[in-house]
Structure formats: structure tokens, C-alpha cells
Amino acid sequence: KAGVTQTPRYLIKTRGQQVTLSCSPISGHRSVSWYQQTPGQGLQFLFEYFSETQRNKGNFPGRFSGRQFSNSRSEMNVSTLELGDSALYLCASSPGTSGLTDTQYFGPGTRLTVL
Amino acid sequence: AQSVTQLGSHVSVSEGALVLLRCNYSSSVPPYLFWYVQYPNQGLQLLLKYTTGATLVKGINGFEAEFKKSETSFHLTKPSAHMSDAAEYFCAVRPNSGNTPLVFGKGTRLSVIA
């Protein structure tokens, strides 16, 4: 099976712009989670989608949003970019069938740089 | 709220030596516990996880971890380090009820010296 894919892998934006990141989960997986990874804050949970519904949300401002499509692919959007949004954004998919013990499979991430 | 503490942001060992990466969690109820590894420019890969049952969990690449409830710990070990083990390691917890997401520790960077 193909792994989790994320596009683009690298992105450079300027302050005030918006950005959309894409994630294609492993075939058959219905749950997609997003994380932000920075050197200072580590890995922080953004949100989780399951069957097109947001099931969980982390403590991020409303500028961060996401959605999931019927084929389980997911996108996240960040509007009005700030310098502090520079990070590695990781997407993880899981089958969604074992609940809390589900293993999350991570993609390689999208490296976002905000200038 | 759940929290995870990884003692030591950087651990350095010689090739062939024992690897010990420490993880402690704070929770009144034992959570589900995970160890992930991240190689440079890659995403995270699951090494092993503890949900229920045997407290000594074996994972990939020769790693294992032992859940110790009395010490609220889930330390990761490998008897003999290999150069290819150099990476960042993350411990993560998830409460065994409710619908809260994974909470990750800050990570420990493992260096292996030839």
C-alpha cells in the first residue's frame, strides 16, 4: 500500500498570505489528523477528521482550518500567515476502526516557511 | 490534562552500547503509550505501542519498552545501538477513554558514535 502523501513538500509564503496543504491518507483509512511541529513547541495537535467530520480540535486560532473529502483526502488551510506559522506540518492517517489504540501513520510533512 | 516528559533532549551513545530513552507520563489512569521515531526530513514512524496486556512491548528494529505503572514510565531500550538508530524519538500518550488526541513529548535526539 502506498503511504501517506503530502503536497507540497516545501512552501515559501509571505506574511498575510494564505496557504492550503493537502494530505492523501493510506487507502482505506478514514481518519486524518494534522500536527504542527516546531523546534520550540514540538509536536502540537491541530485537528482530526473522520468520515468528513471534524472529530477533535487542538488549541489553535481560527486562522487554522481543515476539511476532509468523501475519499478521505484532507486539506488544511492557514489564512493571514504569521512568521510564527513557519513549521513542519504533518498529516497522519489511521484506519479509524480501533478507536484510541489506532496506530497513526505519518506522512513526510510539508515544510512551510513564512517570510 | 495528560502530559509527557522525556528526560534528556539529546542522548549520545557509542555504537554497540545500550540505548535508554526515558519517558514519564502524568495521568491518574494508565493511558495508551506510544514511541515514534523521526529520521531527518521524514515523518514519524511507529516503533511500538502499549495498550493492554504484557507490560514489556517489543517493537521494530530491536527496540522494546516496558510500561511501569508504579513509576508512570515507559522507557525505550535497545541492547546494542547501531549507526542507523540516530534519529529523534518521541514518546506519546493517549487517555484510554474519551476522545482526546495523542500528546507528544518534546523528543530526544539520539546520536550514535562510531
DSSP A15: T
* Tens digits of residue pLDDT in A8-53: 999 999 999 999 999 999 999 999 999 999 998 999 999 999 999 9
Instruction: State which amino acid sits at residue B106.
Output: K
Nearest CA in chain A to B88: A42
Q: Which residues on chain B are in Cβ contact (under 8 Å) with A109?
A: 42-43
Contact assignment for B102 to A90 by CB distance below 8 Å: no
Nearest CA in chain A to B108: A42
Residue A81 near residue A13, CB atoms below 8 Å: yes
Whether A58 has its CB under 8 Å from any CB of chain B: the answer is yes
d(CA A75, CA A8): 11
Chain B interface mutation, best of A9, A46, A56, A104, highest count of B Cβ atoms under 10 Å: A104
* Tens digits of residue pLDDT in B67-110: 999 999 999 999 999 999 999 999 999 887 777 788 999 999 99
Q: What are the strands, taking DSSP E only, across chain B? A: 3-5, 10-14, 19-21, 24-26, 32-38, 44-50, 56-58, 64-68, 73-78, 87-94, 103-104, 108-113
d(CA B37, CA A28): 24
Give chain A's mean pLDDT.
94
Whether A31 has its CB under 8 Å from any CB of chain B: the answer is no
